Amino acid sequence: MNVSDAQHWGRQILHQGGLEGAQLEAQLLLARATSLTRVELYTKDQQVLTEAQLAWYKGAIEERSKGYPLQYLLGEQSFMGLRFRVTPQVLIPRSDTEILVEEALEHAEATRGKLGKEQLKVADVCTGSGAIAVSIAVHAPDAQVWALDISQEALAIAQQNAADNGASDRITFMAGDLLEPLMESEQQLFHMILSNPPYISTEGFSQVEEGVKQYEPRLALAGGADGLDFYRRLVVEAPPLLTPGGVLAVEIGWDQQAAVEKLFIEAGFEEVHTVNDYQGHPRVVMGNK
């Protein structure tokens, strides 16, 4: 089968599977299989695939047509202008989470002038693929970042992503449950603690799209009966680890603004506010110690 025929076949199978982006996804998977660019898929459209290339491509198309995430098949996802390796052991980074990173970078810029010679210290809790931690380290190279996750498999991926993006020397990886590793290690105080924790409620989980529910790690998605379990812990565990005026910032679900803001206020945080995403949905709750 040549490149042109393979692209046509893949597009048909994905279209029959109900995927709206059938043409683009067939191209991306074919490019991955053949190591050609998308432009070369047209300029070298008569090139014949090897047996190994065709076998991988057909398998990937079949899996994708059944709902398996495209990012896991490609093995990567773009986030904050960087490339991240992704496997089924980590949540796929999403553009919504870029709001949290952008707010953190803006706060870092505002804080930098007040620190003098002190280094900006940031903790990323539930780091997963390391998307938040690595993005902070790359875009704020004067910051020292700690990345925490309960999953050793996720931390291994995050460490690879830090190395791939040249940020290994500025990130400390720690395994453990939420902020417990920092509490036990008596680290210095942090200027920012960031987290995109599991926040889908039991009821909400049943309504999550099938591809997410079936293939992405439940450990990184399920936030307890009402989806607030991890926020309840973060607002208690974070203050002792924050500098005076230090910021706790968390990603939230679209319907959790009032509940999470209330948790922040009851825990004694000041200047509690919510930042919307680009679709106008509540996305990030922030508060100062």
Whether residue 222 sits in one domain with residue 141:
yes
Whether residue 35 sits in one domain with residue 111:
no
Whether residue 257 sits in one domain with residue 176:
yes
Whether residue 125 sits in one domain with residue 249:
yes
Whether residue 40 sits in one domain with residue 163:
no
- Among 173, 179, 138, 139, CA closest to 156: 173
Q: Give the model's pLDDT for residue 115.
A: 79
Confidence of residue 184 (pLDDT cuts 50, 70, 90): confident
pLDDT, tens digit, for every residue of 15-56? Answer: 999 999 999 999 999 999 999 999 999 999 999 999 999 999
Whether residue 146 sits in one domain with residue 32:
no
Burial of 197 (0-12, 13-18, 19+ CB in 10 A): buried
260 and 250 in contact (C-beta within 8 Å)? yes
Q: What is the CATH number of the domain that holds 248?
A: 3.40.50.150
pLDDT, tens digit, for every residue of 128-167? Answer: 999 999 999 999 999 999 999 999 999 999 999 999 999 9
- Residue 187 predicted with pLDDT over 70: no
- Residue 179 predicted with pLDDT over 90: yes
The first and second tokens of residue 22, run together, are 């059938």
- Residue 222 predicted with pLDDT over 90: no
- Give a yes or no: residue 77 inside a domain: no
pLDDT, tens digit, for every residue of 231-256? Answer: 999 999 999 999 999 999 999 999 99
Residue 77 phi, psi (nearest 5): -150, 140
pLDDT, tens digit, for every residue of 73-132? Answer: 999 999 999 999 999 999 999 999 999 999 999 999 888 777 777 889 999 999 999 999
The first and second tokens of residue 21, run together, are 């982006």
Provide DSSP, 172-233. Answer: EEEESSTTHHHHHHTPPPEEEEEE----B-HHHHTTS-HHHHHHS-GGGTB--SSS-HHHHH
- Give a yes or no: residue 44 inside a domain: yes
Q: Is the dihedral of CA 81, 134, 101, 118 positive or negative?
A: negative
Cα-only R_g, the chain: 21
Whether residue 38 sits in one domain with residue 109:
no
The first and second tokens of residue 52, run together, are 């190994």
Q: Show which of 51, 66, 81 is a domain's final residue.
A: 66
Confidence of residue 189 (pLDDT cuts 50, 70, 90): very high
The first and second tokens of residue 162, run together, are 């830090």
- Give a yes or no: residue 74 inside a domain: no
- Give a yes or no: residue 81 inside a domain: no
Q: Give the model's pLDDT for residue 169.
A: 95
Whether residue 114 sits in one domain with residue 160:
yes
- Give a yes or no: residue 76 inside a domain: no
- Give a yes or no: residue 73 inside a domain: no
Whether residue 157 sits in one domain with residue 213:
yes
**Domain of 98?**
89-288
Whether residue 98 sits in one domain with residue 189:
yes
Whether residue 161 sits in one domain with residue 257:
yes
- Taking every pair of Cα atoms in the chain, the longest distance, rounded to a whole number of angstroms, is 66
Within 10 A of 14 (CB to CB), how many other CB atoms are there?
23
Lowest-confidence pick of 141-145, 192-196, 260-264: 141-145
Q: Say how many domains are in the chain.
A: 2
Q: Is the dihedral of CA 79, 77, 22, 221 positive or negative?
A: negative
Helix (H, G, I), strand (E, B) or coil at 243: strand
Q: Show which of 66, 99, 117 is a domain's final residue.
A: 66
CA distance 193 to 267: 15
Secondary structure E strands in 74-197? 76-79, 82-85, 120-125, 143-149, 171-175, 190-195
- Give a yes or no: residue 71 inside a domain: no
- Give a yes or no: residue 223 inside a domain: yes
CA distance 283 to 275: 6
Whether residue 279 sits in one domain with residue 233:
yes
Task: Tell me what the mean pLDDT of segment 188-204 comes to.
Answer: 92
